[in-house]
Each structure stands twice: as C-alpha cells, then as structure tokens.
Structure 1
Amino acid sequence: MWPGLVGKGPDSEPPISLEQMLDLTAAADVNGVKFDGVDLFASAPHTDIDSTPDDLKKLADSIARRNLVVGSLVAPVWPPTGGGSCFGSEEERKNYLTQVRKACIMGRTLKEIGIRKYGIIRVDTAASPSQWAENPVENTKKAAATLTEACNIAEEYGERLALEGEICWGAMHSWRRVVELLEAVNRPQTLGYQADMAHSMLYTLGYNAPQDRILPENFDWNDKATLMAAFKTLTDALRPWTIDFHVAQNDGTVHGAGSHDKTGRHCPVNDPNGKMDVVEVAGLWLRGTDGQHTKAMQHICWDGCMFPNAMMLNPQTWNDILATMIKVRDAHGWD
C-alpha cells in the first residue's frame, strides 16, 4: 500500500487513500487471477502506527471484505514519523526502537485477528549516506547495535525484520555495506534483507558508493551477458539474507519525489526504457546458485513507489503488474 504515500505530500502530489488503494488492488484481474493480499504502511494517513485494537479490527474487516489478507508491514522508523536515526543520538535510537516495537505489536494484533498469517516488518537505517560518512566505522557499529535491540523486540512478538536495500540509506547505500551490516548483527533467523528489484539494481551502478560499482563505467545496456553477470554477483551476495521480495522494473536512473530522497526509479513493468527482463532477473533472487527454489519468501509483492497518481489510478497499471507477477510465480513459484 505504500505507493499511495511514498513520494506524496505537500511538496508533491496528494496521497492516495488506503480505501482507494484497496479498491484498486481488489479490482485487478488477469484471466481470473487476482491479488491475494496487501502489505501495509504503518503510518497515517493509511494505517496509524498508534492504531488501537478496535481500529485494526475495522481495518481487517475492510480488507477481508475485499477477499484480501495482510502480509508485511512497513515500520515508520524515520524522524519525521516519530522514529530516529539508527546510528544517531541515544534519543534517536530509542525513538527508532519504539517504532519497531509498535509495528511488531500491530503485526501480532493483526495475526490474532486472523487477517495476517505471514510477512515481515520492513525497516531501514533511517539516515542518509552523508550522515553515515561522518564516521563510517562508528556509525555502522551503532546501527548494528540498534538493529540487535530491534531483533530482541521482534522476537518478543514472533516477528522477523527485513532491511530494504536502497542507495538512500546510510550503512546500506552499497551492497557491500548491506552485507557488512547484516553480518555485524548476525541474527539471520530474525533480521534479513528485503530485495526490491528496482532499488537493488542500482547497487550494480555504484550510486553513492562508486568503489562498489559492479557494472563498468559507460556500460552498454545492450550487453546482456555483462548485465546478468553483475546481477549474479549482486544476488549471490545478498540472496542468502533475502527474506522478502518486491517485483519491480527500473530504467537505470535515480529518482525522488516529495520528501523521499533519490533512489531506484520504479517504472512500469512494460516500460520500453526498463533495463531488466523482470522474470529472468527475479529468478536470480528466488533460486539458489543450484537453480533450486530457496523458498525463503512466503509471498512476493510489487512496489510502485513514486509512480505518478495518474499512473497509479489507471486500472491497467495494476493489471500489467499482476500479469508480470503471475509470470514470476509461474517461472519460480512452487506448490
């Protein structure tokens, strides 16, 4: 549901209401196949992180009425939403953990209601690469300590956390930094990686971390062999940690909207400027080096953050993405 909020706001387009997002989800249909559920953004004006059990029961009823369920939740860990930097001051880190706890409580409540049977709590470091660069070693150490505490909280509520890899998050702005951070926490049973195809692709280009670029400078996008080799390097490093997956396309550029910093540009799956064969690249994330299913994900979702509202409100956009997800499932799913 977060594409209805991310990149929206006073300095951009207005948010799309949760009810409208749910209606668009429920209406999508490709040869009788429909979406099974939704991942929620635990933030107003969609799903307030301080929702009461009664609020969540009403939400669950609204979702169930549309024959949908709930999967993952995005915890609002950023300073503008009440959180704080994962490697900031003691107070900022405390605020970060408070938001993680609230999201875990929400997740457990939705399970108790019966609308949610699977899914993770999505987090990041809630700070920029420039903030991290002020003291890389110490800031990575602080981030690992905060995430270790977050793991303790998640385990109290039977939840798992997933760091979404985006170049806009400090200590996660390169694929090597992500692995370094996950290894420093070393709680694979509780903390993993959320791979969004559009965001993760930018790691190969070295935005914000040129030293970790995988693709060569002035890369020719028609050179598919080199592109797939770069994706293999990336997925081999991050796949062992990947527990949540977003189907998405990227045109190879960075993009930001509203208050959201520049990150991987989500573009329509059938965009002529899209750089990936989505189904083929998805297989690198969903299958191991032996070609077998990892079965690490219980569901896959799509993310269209920063799609213009006109695109989001067009039912064909939803059907196009659903059709692509069906192809991914047909190619890499299991019974």
Structure 2
Amino acid sequence: MPTSMRAAELVRFGDPDTAFTLRELPVPTPGPGQVLVRVMATSVNPLDLQTRRGDYRDHLPLPAVIGNDVSGVVVGNGPGANDFRPGDEVWYLAPIFAGQGTYAGYHVIDQDLVARKPAQLSHVEAAGLTLVGMTAWQALAERAGLRAGERVLVHGGAGGVGSAAVQVAVALGAEVVTTARAEHHAFVGALGASTAIDHSAGDYVPQVRALGGVDVVLDTVGGDTLSRSPEVLADHGRVVSIVDIPQPQNLLAAWAVNATYHFLFVGPGRAGLEALGRLVEQGRLKPVIGAVFPLSEIAQAHQLLESGTTAEGHRRPNGKIAITVHQQGESPAPHGASA
C-alpha cells in the first residue's frame, strides 16, 4: 500500500480556479469497523459548489478535502470490519461535513454505510448515482411514502436529482409529471415521465391542475415552490424539499389541503444503496453521466456545473459530472509513492 495519495484540497473559498490545490496527503488508516477504499471515481454535485463558495464555511475549516460520492475497491479493513474483503467493489455516499471528503485517492468509511457496487455499473456510473440516487430514494420512498398509482410532480426532472427521481418514482409505480425546458422533454420522457411542462414558457400550476393535481411534490429548484405546492396538491398531499436556500414563504394554503411538508438533507446508509442497487439490477434505474473529468481537472468540472455551458459555449449535457481518480486495472503505487 502507498503511504501517500493525491487529493484535490480546498484551500480557499470562492472561484474554482483558485479554490483547489492538488497535494500529496497521507493515506488514512481505517479505525474499528471501518474499511479503506481505493477511490476509483467520485462526482461533483451542487452541494460541492455551495461548499466551495463558502455557504457552509461554519461547518468546514480549511484546508479540507470535499466530495461525497464514491465508487471504489476495498483495500484494507480496520479492527472488527468483516463485511467486506480486499478486492470487493463498493459504492457509497460519504457523510456530509464529517471527516475527509472523496476528492482523493483513498477514503476511510464505516462499513455500515457501504454496499457492494452493482455489477452492471462502471465505477464512473456508480459514482454518479450515489448522492442523487439516495436523495431521490429518501425523498420519495422514505419521506413522501410514494405509492403505486399516485401521481408525483418532480420539479427539475432533467437535473441530477430530478433525473434519478423520475426513474425512482416510475419504479415505485407512480405517474410522473415533471417541469423541464422544452429542449429536455424528450430526455425526461425517455426516463419515464408521462407529462413534461416547460416551466420557462408559463405558469406550471394550471397545467398540473388540468391533469387532476398530484399526490406528491418533489422540490429540487426552490423559488416559490413551497407556497405554490398546495395549488396542485390533492387532499393530504405531501411535499418534499431538498433546497436549503433561505426562501421565506407563506404556507397558509397548505392547511386547506392538509398538506405535509418534509425537508430533506440526505444522509448515507447501506439500506438505501441496496434498494437502489436492486432497481439497477432490474433495469429500472440508470445513471446519466453528462461529462467526465480527471481529478486534476476538478476546477474545470466545478466551472462546467456552475456555468451550465462548456468551454466552447455549448449547453452542458444532461447528467452528472463524474471524476475519475484511478483507472480500472491501474496498480497501486509502490510503497511510499504517490497513488
């Protein structure tokens, strides 16, 4: 095993060009009940942009390694960690703001938060699904309790969480209505959405009401979604929001439909990953990867996600931005060398 690893360390908040520095850091040592994972791939999420900008600076002293998605290979076990053996391919969502992040060659994680990677997925695909997939599953299956035969409105169905949520909702037997720009309607339709509404071309509320309303609203976009959701909800409808940007809103109308509101900050866990893995194995959930960068180009990956356009001025492709850390088949560096 190497003793050091390459990592993209966040050294200052702000612009991605100056925020990150590639450094050699010690390979972490797994403690009791933990495994050491060789990170094959990770990904970039809006959460990472917020963290880099400094939105959570009170929770993150610098310098720090950020990132939360992992697909990789177990290479070591701490005392009492017997669920996985070296060589096992795993995927997981690392705890947010707790310990070292995943923009690094190796990562230590409690074995209880790890699941075996579905064989159908490459490491890049798996790393692009952990956070968004877990968010969609926890929002719809666990918080909203979405049931077969119900109708759900997914705001932002072409986004990272939205594209996973459309597929999860369909897999749960629900009818999916989603908001997306007209240029993305074919994309969300291919994911399983039965109705797509161009929110940029007019008010979505009358169009959803014309369908008979919905049982569940998933808010991935913010704005006035919370205050307007009662206008489209059936009686005893549920709203789940994953947006933590301050948005004071009047929720008085929610009383009229006995609405229930849930606010979700996604957390890690094996059970959710195993549920997602079953959907993958059944062919009901597929990662959507829009771009792939090496770890050395983490700043460019952040710029692409933040701007929404490529360096050539083209709109960013639908799907997640994945980061390769190690290449498949690549041997670990010699003892004491960089990984």
Q: Tell me the TM-score normalised to structure 1 length.
A: 0.28
Q: Tell me the TM-score normalised to structure 2 length.
A: 0.27
Bigger helix share: 1
Bigger strand share: 2
